[in-house]
Amino acid sequence: NAGVTQTPKFRVLKTGQSMTLLCAQDMNHEYMYWYRQDPGMGLRLIHYSVGEGTTAKGEVPDGYNVSRLKKQNFLLGLESAAPSQTSVYFCASSALGTRNSPLHFGNGTRLTVT
């Protein structure tokens, strides 16, 4: 049982380049989330999805887009990367949403934008 899988694990981008981070979960969870983790800032929610075909903005959505075309996958896109987007990105899923159930996290993608 893989749980939540994120690809890639590491990536270096130049300013202005684009990329997509892929998250896949095999737990049949309805809810999926993208967070970023920065030193001294804890985790901050970027976007989330409450089910296939839905997306919603979190706390820090600017510069990112997401798509949930299939229930098991949640994609995070950076259209034009900026140095401020250097961070560790975590995907998470939840069976019933954070009000009723915990999050299951992937192991993260470390992104550096130069």
Partner 1 sequence: SQQGEEDPQALSIQEGENATMNCSYKTSINNLQWYRQNSGRGLVHLILIRSNEREKHSGRLRVTLDTSKKSSSLLITASRAADTASYFCASQQGAQKLVFGQGTRLTINP
Q: List residues binding partner 1 (CB under 8 A).
A: 4, 31, 33, 40-45, 48, 50, 56, 58-59, 90, 92, 97-99, 101-108
Pick the closer one to partner 1 by CB: 85 or 109. 109
> Smallest distance from the beta carbon of 102 to partner 1, in angstroms?
4
> Smallest distance from the beta carbon of 37 to partner 1, in angstroms?
9
Pick the closer one to partner 1 by CB: 16 or 102. 102
How far is residue 88 from each of residues 34, 64, 110, 112, measured CA to CA in Å?
11, 14, 4, 9
Would you give the distance in Å from CA 91 to the centre of its chain?
4
Closest by CA to 66, choosing from 49, 43, 89, is 49
Pick the closer one to partner 1 by CB: 44 or 73. 44
Across the beta sheet with 19-25, the strand order is 4-7, 19-25, 73-78, 64-67
Are 3 and 102 contacting, i.e. CB atoms less than 8 angstroms apart?
no
> Smallest distance from the beta carbon of 42 to partner 1, in angstroms?
4
> Smallest distance from the beta carbon of 16 to partner 1, in angstroms?
28
